[in-house]
Structure 1
Amino acid sequence: MPSSAPFGVLAVAVASILFAVNGTVAKLAMQAGLSPTRLVELRSVGAAVILVTVALVVLRGRMRLRRHEIAAMAVLGVIGMAFVQWLYLVAISRLPVGLALLVEYTAPLLVALFARFVLGEQVRARVWWALGACLVGLALVAQVRAGVELDVIGLAAAGGAAIALATYYLLGERLVARRDPLSTQAWSLAFAGLFWLALQPLWTFDAAILADDVALPGALAGVTLPLWALVAYVIVLGTVVPYTLVLIGLKIVGAARAGLIGMIEPVAASVAAWLVLGEAMTAVQLVGAAVVLAGVGMAETARRTPESAVLPDTIAV
């Protein structure tokens, strides 16, 4: 496997684009009749089967889960994976994809603030600039002013996704300090899949809906795909492949740099949603998005703790 820095950058960049497109594909799947809970269940279970199988073959004995790790891994899977994905899907079902992702993307800022006030870590002063930039940028993106109505549930879901993702970063950081990232990711998806299977067993799902045809809008008008093809994208190209690319990128360029490269994701997600779903952003919103990304960039480098292999922002969706 190539180990040069350009290859690592390319791996994370491609993963970011795949994750970004995944938001539009997931929204099309939900518009075609899948609920957010059912789609995230199919995604979690399908991705878990693939990644756990790969990890068992590649890692062999290193997949073993120690007794003291079970509770933490379960929380990582349920909060850090199942809830992040479900809340994000709820958010994009009620908000433009770009806005939902920008709100969720403030997770690194929440991590830096938690590290400062709860963990007592030394945090660079730029965190306050990051906080101000994110708040101002989000206000511009949401165009908060008199007469503008926002979907409260959608915004709450996006904010909840940011909190759940921050939990994933913090807990994942502790776990990967003692075990490899691939087995950690595989186990987290396994627990997420088990959570959804217990909540809504697969036998309650009418799989016949997956054969329904979905007419694609926007730049893809005239193209029709079966719903199962969209779900397959969410599982394979929206989860398994980008997660693997992120792991490769992390090994080569490190967590902090991978996180900054991952800022491609909200930009690419907005472009994809504009081309296919017609979710255009105004000039003011574009300025706000740039301000948010600048704030996230500052937050990514605010902590003084050593880098670890925790997965960066691109894994959220």
Structure 2
Amino acid sequence: MARTQSRPSLGYALVVGGACFFVLNAGVSRVVLRAGIDPALLTTFRTTGSALLFVLFAVVADRSALRLPRGRELALLLLLGVVGIASVQWTYNIAIDRIPVGMALLLEYLAPVLVVLWARFVQRQHVRRTMWLAVALTLVGLALVAQIASGLAFDGLGMLAGLAAAACLATYFLVGEQGVSEADPIRVVVWAFVFAAIAMNVARPIWTSPDLDGSANLLGALDAYEVPLWLAIGWVVVLGTLTPFFMELSALQHLPATVVTMVATLEPVGAAALGWAWFGESLDALQVVGGLLVVAGIVLAQASRAVPPPAVPEVAG
């Protein structure tokens, strides 16, 4: 997207705001999961609701975005939707249901490290020597956070789900670099979510959902309160997906994609703070140091790439 009359301060405000909505979505998603909606069904709700609203937006704003993709574009958008969106969200939902939300996002955001390793060893791209420092920081940091020396501190399946989310998110970025980022961002996201919704409705059809007339306890520090379950699911779709997406898309009009992606790495830090304030999750001093090392490694990995990340907003968190 062209950045006419660029206003960097507004761009930073938008991307930070988008990151905050993604962080809050982690907490609301856990509320929905603990209310009895399984991770696959929550992913179906999120992708289906988002796809419908994105299509509606395209009908109003830009009907050309609804043109059916063909050939190579179709294959890339299918991969983006099924792996880069549906699979990311499914594995991420499993992770936040089983391990602290900060740890889940920390694992998911290892994606830039996986991307730089793929670029170096598979695509044979030139990367800066700082890549090795980035990899070392993330590995040492994860070892400290997970307390590998004394046995895993967190649920093994939850950890594996978080790592799977990182691999799927790395696919999202790599597919973006293979030409999808050159297309209209609205068109890309509309069709990616449509394909994600189709895939999830095959895996876990939305019509198999239980009665949504019940309530969802807000858990943790908000345990005294309940909200209608349908309202919490609506938050995940509207304020946990569409709102941060449009904020980050708008930020790309004022900031380079590299900067937007860097600032978005605030999400694991914000999620750790949310987990502490809302759910009473805490890390000891060594684990906090480990988390900071991981974030530093992620940022350094972003800076190690010779090829910048795609100018497509991250919609998987």
TM range (shorter): over 0.9
1:104 to 81, 85, 108: 108
> In the TM superposition, what is the alpha-carbon distance from 1:57 to its structure 2 partner?
2.1
Corresponding residue number in structure 1 for 2:307: 305
Q: 1:213 to 1:62 in 2, by over 3 A?
A: closer
Aligned to 2:69: 66
Match of 1:316 in 2: 316
Deviations 1:91-133 (A, max 9, x none): 1111111111111111001111111111111111111100000
Contact 2:41 2:206 in 1 (8 A): no
Using the aligned pairs only, state the percent identity: 39
Aligned position for 2:44: 41
State how far apart, in whole Å, the 1-side matches of 2:78 and 2:175 are. Answer: 11
Of 123, 127, 131, which aligns to 1:123? 127
Checking the alignment, whether the CA contact within 8 Å between 1:176 and 1:309 is kept in structure 2 is: no
1:197 aligns with 2:201: yes
Q: Hey, what does 2:160 align to over in structure 1?
A: 156
CA distance in 2, matches of 1:268, 1:227: 25
- The equivalent residue for 2:59 is 56
Structure 1's 147 and 109: CA in aligned 2 closer, same or farther, altered over 3 A?
closer
Q: CA deviation at 1:149?
A: 5.0
Question: Residue 273 of structure 1 corresponds to which residue in structure 2?
Answer: 275
> How far apart, CA to CA, are the structure 1 residues paired with 2:5 and 2:56?
24
Contact 1:141–1:286 under 8 Å retained in 2: yes
So what's the TM-score if we normalise by structure 1?
0.94
TM-score scaled by length of structure 2? 0.94
- CA contact under 8 A between 1:175 and 1:184: conserved in structure 2? no
- Pick aligned residue for 1:27 from 27, 30, 40: 30
**Pairwise CA RMSD:** 1.7
Structure 2 CA distance for aligned equivalents of residues 158 and 307 of structure 1: 21
| 1:215-294 matched pairs, under 5 angstroms | 215-294=217-296
Is 2:152 the counterpart of 1:132? no
- State the shift of 1:152 in Å: 1.8
Q: Distance in 1 between matches of 2:308 and 2:47?
A: 31
Distance 1:235 1:307, change over 3 A: closer
- Provide structure 2 residue ranges, at least 5 long, that are not aligned to the other structure: none
Tell me which amino acid in the other structure corresponds to 2:18: A
Matches of 2:302 and 2:308, distance apart in 1: 12
Partner Cα distance (1:183, 1:109) in 2 = 28
Cα displacement (A) at 1:270: 1.1
| Cα distance change of structure 1 residues 175 and 78 upon mapping to structure 2, 3 Å threshold | same
On the 8 A contact 1:141/1:284 being kept in 2, the answer is yes
Shift of 1:2: 7.4
Please tell me whether residue 182 in structure 1 is matched to residue 186 in structure 2. Answer: yes
Q: Does 1:16 align with 2:19?
A: yes
Summarize the Cα distance change of 1:223–1:177 in structure 2 as closer, same or farther, 3 Å threshold: closer
Please say which of residues 73-82 and 175-184 is displaced more in the overlay.
175-184
Amino acid at match of 2:188: T
Partner of 1:173: 177
Q: Secondary structure at the match of 1:225?
A: strand
Give distance in 2, aligned partners of 1:60 and 1:3: 26
For residues 176 and 202 of structure 1, the distance between their equivalents in structure 2, rounded to whole angstroms, comes to 28
* 1:53 to partner: Cα distance: 1.4
Whether contact under 8 Å (2:221, 2:280) holds in the other structure is no
**Which residue identity lines up with residue 137 of structure 1 in the other structure?**
G
Structure 1 residues 250 and 176, CA, compared in 2 at 3 Å: closer, same or farther? farther
* Deviation larger for 222-231 or 34-43: 222-231
